């Protein structure tokens, strides 16, 4: 009778393992499908990113081209009064200085971040040196 219970228990264990295997198999299939979906979305996002980069570069080039043509028109057109040329030059200088100011602000933020990181590294180094000195003294 004990053998029959062990056999039933073993059969029960086997059925439990089969059930667990089937659950794991379903989870794996589900994750496989999710991975395929995410992979397709990633491909789509990468293509969109590349398109936006291309468009941004084209717009940047177009802007530079128009800016150059504008400067050539202003500088080369004798019918434009000198005070108007000065205004255009001043407007261009103002625009250029704003752009430069923006870039310098970004550079300052980056340098401040790097400084903070370096200061943190220095603090860590000082702590290590102090620990070594304390260990040497004791």
Task: Please check whether residues 10 and 68 belong to one and the same domain.
Answer: yes
- Per-residue pLDDT at 26: 95
118 is in which domain, residue-wise?
A: 102-138
- Measured CA to CA, the distance from residue 92 to residue 66 in angstroms comes to 13
Task: Please check whether residues 7 and 53 belong to one and the same domain.
Answer: yes
Task: Please check whether residues 22 and 61 belong to one and the same domain.
Answer: yes
Classify residue 80 as exposed, middle or buried by CB count within 10 Å of its CB (0-12, 13-18, 19+): middle
pLDDT in tens, the chain (138 residues): 455 555 566 888 889 999 999 999 999 999 999 999 999 999 999 999 999 999 999 999 998 888 887 777 666 666 666 676 666 667 777 788 888 888 888 889 888 888 888 887 777 777 777 777 677 776
Total tally of structural domains belonging to the chain: 2
């Amino acid at each position: 009778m004990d053998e029959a219970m062990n056999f039933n228990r073993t059969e029960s264990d086997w059925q439990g393992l089969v059930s667990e295997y089937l659950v794991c198999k379903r989870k794996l299939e589900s994750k496989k499908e999710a991975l395929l979906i995410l992979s397709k979305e990633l491909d789509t996002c990468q293509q969109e990113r590349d398109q936006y980069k291309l468009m941004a570069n084209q717009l940047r080039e177009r802007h530079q081209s128009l800016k150059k043509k504008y400067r050539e028109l202003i500088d080369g057109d004798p019918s434009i009064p000198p005070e108007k040329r000065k205004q255009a030059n001043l407007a261009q200088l103002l625009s250029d200085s704003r752009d430069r100011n923006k870039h310098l602000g970004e550079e300052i933020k980056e340098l401040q971040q790097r400084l903070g990181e370096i200061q943190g590294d220095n603090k860590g180094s000082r702590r290590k040196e102090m620990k070594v000195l304390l260990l040497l003294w004791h």
